[in-house]
Amino acid sequence: MTVPVIVDCDPGHDDVFALWLAAGRPELDLLAVTTVGGNVSLEHTSRNARIALSVAGVTGVPVAAGAPGPLARELSTAEWIHGENGLGGPELPDPDAGPSPVRLDPRTATELIADTLAAASEPVAIIATGPITNVAVLLRERPDLAPRIREVVWMGGSTDRGNATPYAEFNAWVDPEALDLVLRSGVRFTMVGLNVTHRALVTASVRERLAAIGNRTARFGDELLEFFCRTNDEVFGMPDGPLHDPVAVAVLADPDSVTVARTRLDVELVGSETVGATSVDLDGMLGREANAFVAVGIDVDRFWAGVEAAVAGLA
């Protein structure tokens, strides 16, 4: 049985691998891709999502652009990790040309998600790998569609420390109001945070195995990883860069590869130093009702085997 999914993303190097995992695994049926301003501007993330699909030979999946920035704040971007265009490293092809062109759908992200949810024969999962603005806008504008969302799996947050500020992870920090809105919506929600994605490391042996696949997707991916590992080394002292976003896809593609706990999850909206920090009450100290699943473990070898299999099956 395949899980129908929409990927909402802000590519970004790791978002590209999330798209490839979603498109390449037989357990998932990728119905649509939507983009949000995050790692870089919406203009770049929308083009980069199309490049990711085009390089991998994935045509026929609509791609629509969504929110250029957060619900209530200025957009903060992450060029220092992803480069000026969001996909530093390889020479970027024109997604409108080449053997597998992928054009931008004229609908907004919200319209595309709404149409996809309404047309599907069963509830559809949304995998969000950027600031969760588009999902929040959808739930605000079309609350009637909430029952059509099977669940939201989001890469972001952390059970411990952050990477944008000492306590806030980037996606949560960029748009905490959106995260708060989605958490309050009652839609089934899984957070995949830095506490697990920092174990999905692009080691030398991971790079060797991916490069050995040798297809167009793997070659492009290797150039992405070269850049991504260099910037993660420069910024965080992590030469084996953590490939965050595909871990959220793995939760649905291979549920046995990621362990989750049912718990209370909240996000800080105000605070002099803590805006965007996720409060994950794993020990039940607050006595509040659980409202989310939070990833707490990952089978790293199994995760990478899934990524490799997906890349091997693409162009």
Residues with a catalytic annotation lie at 244
CB-based contact 13:82 (threshold 8 Å): yes
What is the greatest pairwise CA distance in the chain?
56
245 sits near ligand BDR (criterion: CB under 6 A) = yes
Contact partner, 169, from ligand BDR, Ca ion, none, Cβ < 5-8 Å per class: ligand BDR
| 218 vs 249, beta carbon nearer ligand BDR | 249
| 10 vs 222, beta carbon nearer Ca ion | 10
Helix (H) / strand (E) element for 34: namely: strand 28-35
| 114 vs 127, beta carbon nearer ligand BDR | 127
22/300 Cα distance (integer angstroms): 18
CB-based contact 65:103 (threshold 8 Å): no
Helix (H) / strand (E) element for 65: namely: strand 63-65
297/313 Cα distance (integer angstroms): 27
Contact partner, 170, from Ca ion, ligand BDR, none, Cβ < 5-8 Å per class: ligand BDR
Give every CB contact of residue 26 below 8 A, 6+ residues apart in sequence. Answer: 2
Helix (H) / strand (E) element for 117: namely: helix 109-119
39 sits near ligand BDR (criterion: CB under 6 A) = yes
Residues 236-295 that bind Ca ion (CB under 5 A): 245
Q: Which one of 8, 15, 151, 222 is in contact with Ca ion (CB under 5 A)?
A: 15
170 sits near ligand BDR (criterion: CB under 6 A) = yes
Region binding ligand BDR by CB under 6 A among candidate stretches 165-173, 220-228, 253-261, 269-277:
165-173
Give every CB contact of residue 229 below 8 A, 6+ residues apart in sequence. Answer: 202, 207, 239, 240, 241
Region binding Ca ion by CB under 5 A among candidate stretches 4-12, 68-76, 81-89, 94-102:
4-12
The site for Ca ion (CB under 5 A) is made up of: 10, 12, 15, 129-130, 245
The site for ligand BDR (CB under 6 A) is made up of: 12, 14-15, 39, 78, 81, 129-130, 155, 163, 169-171, 244-245
